[in-house]
Chain A
Amino acid sequence: MAQKSQAAANVENPIHIMPTSHLSTEINKTGSWRYLRPRYAEKTAPCSAACPAGEDIGKIEMLTTQGLFKEAWETILRENPFPGVCGRVCFHPCESVCNRSEFDDPIAIHIVERFLADTAERNDLKPLLERLPSRPEKVAIAGAGPSGLAAAWFLSRLGYSCDVFESAPEAGGILHWGIPLYRLPLPALQREITQIEAQGIRIHTGKPVTTDLLTELKSGYQAVYLACGHGKTTELRVPGEALAGVKDGLDFLAGIRKGQTPDCQGTSAVIGGGNTAVDVARSIVRLGGKAVILYRRRRQDMPAFGDEVQMALEEGVELVELVAPAKIESENGSCRVILRKMKVAGEDGTRARVEPDGDKTSEVVVDRLFKATGAEAAEGWYGPPAASSSLLTLSHCALVKKDGGPVTMYGGDVTNDIKSVVHAVASGKQAAMALDTLLREGPDAILPKLTACQVGSGPSLSMEIYMGGERRLRNPHVVAYKEINTDYFRYSARMSQPRLVREERIRSFAEIDLRVSGNIAMRETERCFNCGLCNQCDNCHLFCPDMSVIHDQSAQGRHINYDYCKGCGLCVVECPRNAMTLEEENR
């Protein structure tokens, strides 16, 4: 119509309709052509879903690349109060699912995590985290290990007043007593415990949780979280186990942490294949002894971290595979260990299933023998009672609520299938969320609420989602490698962890893994695909043929102008990180 009237008006004046155009094509709303609709939809990175603590790893790496170390560190703290600990001792399941490993090598996530904790330590950073208004309820926590402390950390952020009771003279549980200093130096642990205390959490050490104390707590607190851990070494159940030369691996490690220098002269055998076994063996080496690990499966089946095993062997630890102790005998102050030969009889999950290889045996004579085949709860009542109607069993904790009584929760090693630090943190977090939901909204709300806080398809949970942070907007879809536009990434090798050389290692308990610089961490995090996350690369804006990706002041930094977007989908395909989605237009 506009065209018509303009032309008509000009008929009067014979030299005025010039074929020149001045008006914008914006009158043509090409959005009506669209049958596919792009939108921003941040998704879930596989690493974050695989992290039992649900750390927002993609974002942590992104912030690190941008040099926002404090923000990156705080992003960890939202989900895990122990970046310095986990950066060192976590078995980092995140790295084994990293999409980058299909491209070249996975991101060194744990090294970056440790770097961020180191940076916080060096600059004495104080985290600035969200905290809900104070609640009237008080919570008592039994056990100042990673699960108890994590529960206290999260509950305190949710507004609860917390008291932690610990039998040992120092807080930290296995972190303090069970992990050698060359893997986890004391200051790194203490700094994070202090940080937890700084939230107003009271840790009462030297206060063993007895049935009496429990009864007392149940009257003074609205909830009790039992996170007493697996502190007792599992029995070998073989003849001769009680001989003087047979020692408890965990006690040995704790003794060293207490300042003792146990006698390790000669050869020591260590029974087991987990991290404790390796830690014991390597500590023996550092104390001047020779260590032989006796393991019933093969090296590749050992639950201990492969890196640790590798370093142990480098340090001179000997590994004997496919042997199980059958009998221990005393011989001139030494131990003769009769070993039953084992053979592989199939697969048991990812490990070999073994069985005795007929009657074959062998024997070793050692100066002493350490048991390190696993641990269990010191008291039966540390774990949840048998199923009852008032018991709610979750993936990492259990709740008991008797009418009128306080809530009792169980978590940590006693409820976790995998006994790791990060699983302990996950359990403390799950307990905190479940309790908070129970108190605020009642028991029926717990499962739906927890489901809503899952990272990906769970069981990892996000406290940021729980507390209403931006992460709740993410699509739980876990991004697959083929969904990454790898055209935007260049091959580059994973960083390597700088370490003490072998000769330095075996001389002392000094930390083996050295610090890395900010530059190296930034270069490493730059490799990260940041799966499913927008890092503001602006490709969507850059490639839009229709000027329909508009920069703005929103958190996203841009929006799509659907008046003109034709739904070509270029923005979605050219998004390197799959932070956009193309869906059918509903009109």
Chain B
Amino acid sequence: MRHVLEGSQAVAEAVRLARVQVVSAYPITPQTHIVEILSDYCATGKMNAKFLRVESEHSCMAALIGAQSAGVRTFTATSGQGLALMHELLHWAAGARLPIVMAEVNRALAPGWNIWVDQTDTLAQRDTGWIQFYCEDSQEVVDTTLQAYKLAESVNLPVMVVLDAFFLSHTYEPVDVPDQDEADRFLPPYKARFQLDVKNPCSFGPLVPPAVYMEMRHDMAAAMETALTNFAEIEDEYAGIFGRRYGAVEAIACDDAEIVFVTSGTITSTARLVLESLRGRGEKFGILKIKLFRPFPVNEIRAALGKAKKIAVIDRNFSFGASGIFAQEVRAALCNVPIHPAVFGYIAGIGGRDVTPEVLEEIYWKTKNLDSPERESVWIGLQEVRHGN
């Protein structure tokens, strides 16, 4: 059934369809709509789930670690500061191999207080062992959230489904929401590989000496790799039922493109408009949308970008002292390919600033007009700010 939903509600619908049993969250803008809807669903019985109204994001993730360890499907949503507060437990959830799923509405980190979109919060968690998906629209949010459970449970790693603040979380779009029966067909009830069980007592997450810790971490690394192939299979299955598929990356008009933008999140949709316009003017322009950031789909990226002359990575995030994080990753993916295109890094839309088609065109022309990148990162649209005195 098609509904007009905002991104937040799309998340909530998918969580309902996934028959999540324990939800826990702490309010933070701009994630609040998600948990308000889920609270309502739990209260009205639309969902048979327990909602734990914890006193912090840290406790929220701890509660989910407890719940998931006890053998139920769990969910939470957070943003920016909240995710940062969870940091320790993101490592814990992954290390404990718990298939927790979280919706993360990208929000810039303080100070100064800023509730608008910025990917630095989630990208700063890239080494925690969580699988990360960056979504472009509400339909993708519904589909990815359902897939996230299947993927997480197949490899025993947690998954973060990432949405841009407001541009996606608070924007209404028509969305095809699957029926419960179909959703159940795709995602059967949760069966834990291991769980706290009075009949089979054992200890979870004990002290692990050097003789085994490294193997455990290697095992997580292997599971991350497996997630790549599992995701492809899961998408096949999903497409078989629902007819929709996204791919770990989506290469748009890359085959003959000389300049390819690498995008993520809602900027991709804007880039699609720019693509139409530039192609109309005969520019050999393409887009590579990266949906799956962890594990990073290196082979797909190499294949999609191999033929281009120049790559322009648009980063709505920044790693201070280095560069945009997607740009780092793309450079790293390409560097061992003997002949590879030049990678231009652009920083745009930080702290919720709008990335308009004009901004993207500016980036296109900058890239086209230079033979090689003049800097690792070029900040687009900086204004002279007059400080008060």
Residue numbers of A with Cβ under 8 A of B are 3-4, 6-8, 10-11, 14-22
Asked if A17 contacts B215 (CB within 8 A), the reply is: yes
A19-B226 in contact given A7-B215, A10-B219, A11-B215 (Cβ < 8 Å): no
From A11, A15, A17, A21, B155 is in contact (CB under 8 Å) with A15
Asked if A14 contacts B209 (CB within 8 A), the reply is: no
Which residue on chain B has the smallest CB distance to residue A1? B211
Could you tell me which residues of chain B, from 180 to 206, have a CB within 8 Å of some CB in chain A?
Answer: 193-194, 202-206
B58, CB-defined interface residue at 8 Å:
no
Asked if B222 contacts A14 (CB within 8 A), the reply is: yes
Q: Can you list 18 A-B pairs with a CB-CB distance of less than 8 A?
A: A3-B212, A4-B211, A4-B212, A6-B212, A7-B211, A7-B215, A8-B215, A11-B222, A15-B222, A15-B226, A17-B212, A17-B215, A17-B216, A18-B97, A19-B96, A19-B204, A20-B206, A21-B206
Asked if B202 contacts A11 (CB within 8 A), the reply is: no
Interface residues of B, count at CB 8 A: 24
Contacts of B194 in A (CB 8 A): 18, 20
Shortest distance from the beta carbon of A7 to any chain B beta carbon, whole Å: 4
Complex: A14 Cα to B221 Cα, angstroms: 8
Asked if A20 contacts B203 (CB within 8 A), the reply is: yes
Asked if A19 contacts B193 (CB within 8 A), the reply is: no
* SS of A interface (majority): mixed
B223, CB-defined interface residue at 8 Å:
yes
Could you tell me which residues of chain B, from 286 to 317, have a CB within 8 Å of some CB in chain A?
Answer: none
Which residue on chain B has the smallest CB distance to residue A16? B219
Shortest distance from the beta carbon of A46 to any chain B beta carbon, whole Å: 50
Q: A7-B212, A19-B96, A21-B202 are in contact. List 16 more A-B contacts (CB 8 A).
A: A3-B211, A3-B212, A4-B212, A6-B212, A7-B215, A10-B219, A11-B218, A14-B155, A15-B223, A17-B215, A17-B216, A18-B193, A18-B194, A19-B208, A19-B216, A20-B205
Which residue on chain A has the smallest CB distance to residue B96? A19
A14-B223 in contact given A3-B212, A19-B96 (Cβ < 8 Å): yes
Complex: A21 Cα to B204 Cα, angstroms: 6
Contacts of A20 in B (CB 8 A): 194, 202-206
- Total A-B pairs in contact (CB under 8 Å)? 58
Shortest distance from the beta carbon of A315 to any chain B beta carbon, whole Å: 74
Contacts of B206 in A (CB 8 A): 19-21
Asked if B97 contacts A14 (CB within 8 A), the reply is: no
B225, CB-defined interface residue at 8 Å:
yes
Shortest distance from the beta carbon of B153 to any chain A beta carbon, whole Å: 11
Asked if B202 contacts A22 (CB within 8 A), the reply is: yes
Contacts of B209 in A (CB 8 A): 3
Top 7 A-B residue pairs of the complex, sorted by shortest distance between their CB atoms: A14-B222, A7-B215, A17-B219, A21-B203, A22-B202, A21-B206, A7-B212
Shortest distance from the beta carbon of A4 to any chain B beta carbon, whole Å: 6
Shortest distance from the beta carbon of B156 to any chain A beta carbon, whole Å: 5
Complex: A3 Cα to B226 Cα, angstroms: 25
Chain B 150-165 near chain A by CB (<8 Å), digits 1 or 0: 0000011000000000
A15-B219 in contact given A3-B209, A4-B211, A7-B211 (Cβ < 8 Å): yes
Contacts of B216 in A (CB 8 A): 7, 17, 19
B95, CB-defined interface residue at 8 Å:
yes
Contacts of A11 in B (CB 8 A): 215, 218-219, 222
Which residue on chain A has the smallest CB distance to residue B201? A22
A14-B202 in contact given A4-B211, A19-B97, A19-B216 (Cβ < 8 Å): no
Complex: A7 Cα to B222 Cα, angstroms: 14
Which among B155, B205, B215, B218 has the greatest number of chain A C-beta atoms within 10 A?
A: B215
Contacts of A15 in B (CB 8 A): 97, 155-156, 193, 219, 222-223, 226
Shortest distance from the beta carbon of A180 to any chain B beta carbon, whole Å: 73
Contacts of A22 in B (CB 8 A): 202
Shortest distance from the beta carbon of B100 to any chain A beta carbon, whole Å: 15
Which residue on chain B has the smallest CB distance to residue A17? B219
Shortest distance from the beta carbon of B214 to any chain A beta carbon, whole Å: 9
Shortest distance from the beta carbon of B256 to any chain A beta carbon, whole Å: 38
Complex: A17 Cα to B194 Cα, angstroms: 11
Contacts of B223 in A (CB 8 A): 14-15
Contacts of B218 in A (CB 8 A): 11
Which among A16, A19, A22 has the greatest number of chain B C-beta atoms within 10 A?
A: A19
Shortest distance from the beta carbon of B287 to any chain A beta carbon, whole Å: 33
Contacts of A19 in B (CB 8 A): 95-97, 204-206, 208, 216
Which residue on chain A has the smallest CB distance to residue B222? A14
Contacts of A14 in B (CB 8 A): 155, 219, 222-223, 225-226
Contacts of B203 in A (CB 8 A): 20-21
Complex: A11 Cα to B294 Cα, angstroms: 21
Shortest distance from the beta carbon of B84 to any chain A beta carbon, whole Å: 25
Complex: A15 Cα to B155 Cα, angstroms: 6
Which among A10, A15, A22 has the greatest number of chain B C-beta atoms within 10 A?
A: A15
Complex: A6 Cα to B215 Cα, angstroms: 10
Complex: A19 Cα to B203 Cα, angstroms: 8
Complex: A7 Cα to B156 Cα, angstroms: 17
Complex: A169 Cα to B84 Cα, angstroms: 106
Contacts of B95 in A (CB 8 A): 19
Which residue on chain A has the smallest CB distance to residue B225? A14
Complex: A11 Cα to B155 Cα, angstroms: 14
Shortest distance from the beta carbon of A117 to any chain B beta carbon, whole Å: 56
Complex: A16 Cα to B203 Cα, angstroms: 15
Complex: A7 Cα to B217 Cα, angstroms: 11
Contacts of A3 in B (CB 8 A): 209, 211-212
